Amino acid sequence: MALLLTLAFSVLVALVFVLFGAPAFSQHSETFMAAVNFSLLAITPAILTLKPTFSAWRRALLSAEQKSVPEKWAAGFFWCTVVATWASAYFIPMDWDRPWQRWPLPIVGGAFLGNLISLLFVLIRCFIIPVARADFEESENEKRRMIRELQNEERQTRPVTRSMAKKDL
């Protein structure tokens, strides 16, 4: 199902490629294969994780609001791949006359590179940071609990210096 959706998206992506300057009347299969490649790398993660509604996609991919972990995951893959693919198009007009400069090789490479970066990015953003934050929050909670206990103890023994104890914290 996700693959079929990806294929459907590839058609749209290919159209966007043409809008950005891909040849319109030739090399259709090349453009389409580049679009499939791009969709697999950039859009499939979103298909797998997001609810199939316009607003959910919009919120996850375009808004600047606070996001959940799956949304971050989808947006990470999407944006890193998009930006790298976009930037790699700059290699096409260079006059180096290298075989890999032929359409659509630069943007295929760019998509892969962007995806590699996004893996790292997503790993940090969706796994390392939440785990670290959970760890941190747990230890904070522990600290708070201990402080509370300490305070209770103090209140029972020396209620006069309560304000001082608070200050120390």
Partner 1 sequence: MGAEHARIHGGRRFAWALALLLAVELLGMGLFARGFFPYKKSAGGFAMPADQPEDIGGSNRTQPEAQYDRLVLMVIDALRNDFIFGNESQMTYTQQLLRIGQARGFTARAQAPTVTMPRLKALMTGTVPGFLDAVLNIAEGDTSSSLQHQDSLLWQLREHGGKRINMFGDDTWLRLFPGLFANADGTSSFFVADTVEVDNNVTRHVQAEIAQGEWDVTVLHYLGLDHIGHLAGPRSALMGPKQREMDGVVKDIHEIVMAQDRDRMAAKDGARPTLMVVLGDHAMNELGNHGGNSQLETSTAFVFIGNNVNAQPLGDNSNALTSLLTDEVAQSNLAPTLALLLGVPIPKESLGVPLPQLLQSVPLPQRMHMLQTAAAQIYAVVRANEPAALPVSIAEVRDHPHAYVAADCHDQLLIGARLQCLYMAALAQHSLATNDDAERAYYAFMNAASTHLSQALDGYGLELMGAGIALLTVATLGLLWLCQQNGAPVVHIKARQLAVSVPAVVMWASQLLAEQSTSLVEEEHQLWYFWVQTLLALRAATSAGASGMLRSLMQMAVFRLIRAWNQTGQKWAGEPDIRGMLNAPSATPLLWTLAIAVALLVNFSCWALHRHFRRPSGWSRAFRVLLAAACTCALAYHMQRAQTQSGIGAARGVYVLTALLVVAGCAVGSGAKTPASAVALDVLVGFMPLLLLLTRPHNHTLFALFAAIFALFFSNPSQPSNKSSIGHPLRPSRALVLQALAHASFFALGNSNSLASVDLSNAYAGVSQYSEAMVGILVFISTWAGPLWWAMAGAAALMLNAGPSRSNLLLRVRALVVGAHLWQALMLLSLSCVATAMRSHLFVWSVFSPRYLYQIAWFAGFYLACGTIIGFIWLAAIMRFQLHSSFTPAMHV
List 69, 89, 116, 165, residue binding partner 1 (CB under 8 A) = 89
Q: How far apart are CA 93 and CA 167, in angstroms?
A: 66
Q: Which stretch binds partner 1 (CB under 8 A): 15-23, 115-123, 127-135, 151-159?
A: 15-23
3 vs 16 by CB, closer to partner 1: 16
User: Does 65 help bind partner 1 (rule: CB under 8 A)?
Assistant: no
Name the burial class of residue 32, with classes exposed (0-12), middle (13-18) and buried (19+) by CB atoms within 10 angstroms of its CB.
middle
Amino acid at 156: Q
Query: Binder to partner 1 among 2, 21, 124, 137 (CB under 8 A)?
Result: 21
Q: How far from 146 is each of 46, 99, 149, 151, 162, CA to CA, in Å?
A: 43, 66, 5, 9, 16
- Closer CB to partner 1, 11 or 16, in the complex: 16
Closer CB to partner 1, residue 89 or residue 165?
A: 89
Q: How far is CA 155 from CA 144, 166, 167, in A?
A: 16, 11, 14
Residues that bind partner 1 (CB under 8 A): 16, 18-21, 24, 62, 64, 86, 89-90, 92-96
